């Protein structure tokens, strides 16, 4: 069993969670909101930051300066269908994305989405734990005492990472519900 590898894989799940949380809007504009949005162009799906420049000119406005004028419609469609509740407006090769005020219902919806993201991260962490436990069980070189000690270490690492996920979720929910 490679503890460093397990740690790295669990950290990967946490990094993924942070990226997903960054895409959840909290009532103020952030360039990272559009990072999870993928644009279908040139026959493949491309992340938003690879098709244009995302800027925040004011607290309730994002602009996307699309590099390829022929892709403006695809970028606008991707933003509209992203599930973020945004309504982009096109001006030439620039797309203006006003950030509407969040109402109570939308805030509750976003906290549910945050909860789903957190649960996905917990599942990923538990899958890494399961892989670690399986490798410990299948390792014939370790004594029973070593196996118990290693299993305990893996469980402690898992518990610590799940606690981090729970704390990140709690912080994000507070952020979303703050008016």
Give per-residue pLDDT as tens, 54-103. Answer: 998 988 888 999 998 888 999 999 988 887 778 899 998 899 998 877 78
* pLDDT over 70 at 25, yes or no: no
- Is 86 strand, coil or helix? coil
Position 27 confidence tier, pLDDT thresholds 50, 70, 90: low
Could you give the percent of the chain with pLDDT greater than 70?
97
State the chain's mean pLDDT as an integer.
88
* pLDDT over 80 at 23, yes or no: no
Domains along the chain?
Answer: 3-20+103-177 (1.10.132.20), 28-98 (3.30.1360.40)
Q: How far apart are CA 21 and CA 32, in angstroms?
A: 9
Give one DSSP letter per residue of 68-127, joined into a string. SGGGHHHHHHHHHTSSS----EEETTEEEEE-PPPPHHHHHHHHHHHHHHHHHHHHHHHH
State pTM to two decimals.
0.68
């Amino acid at each position: 069993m490679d503890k460093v590898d397990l740690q790295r894989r669990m950290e990967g799940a946490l990094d993924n969670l942070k990226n997903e949380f960054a895409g959840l809007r909290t009532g103020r504009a952030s360039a990272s909101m559009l990072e999870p949005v993928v644009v279908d162009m040139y026959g493949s799906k491309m992340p938003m930051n690879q098709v244009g420049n995302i800027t925040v000119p004011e607290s309730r406005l994002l602009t996307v300066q699309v590099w390829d004028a022929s892709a403006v419609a695809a970028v606008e469609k991707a933003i509209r269908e992203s599930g973020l509740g945004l309504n982009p407006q096109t001006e030439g090769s620039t797309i203006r994305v006003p950030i509407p005020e969040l109402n109570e219902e939308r805030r509750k919806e976003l906290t549910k989405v945050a909860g789903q993201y957190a649960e996905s991260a917990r599942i990923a962490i538990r899958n890494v734990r399961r892989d670690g436990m399986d490798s410990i069980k299948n390792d014939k070189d370790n004594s029973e005492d070593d196996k118990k000690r290693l299993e305990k270490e893996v469980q402690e690492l898992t518990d610590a990472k799940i606690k981090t996920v729970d704390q990140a979720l709690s912080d994000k929910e507070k952020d979303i519900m703050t008016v």
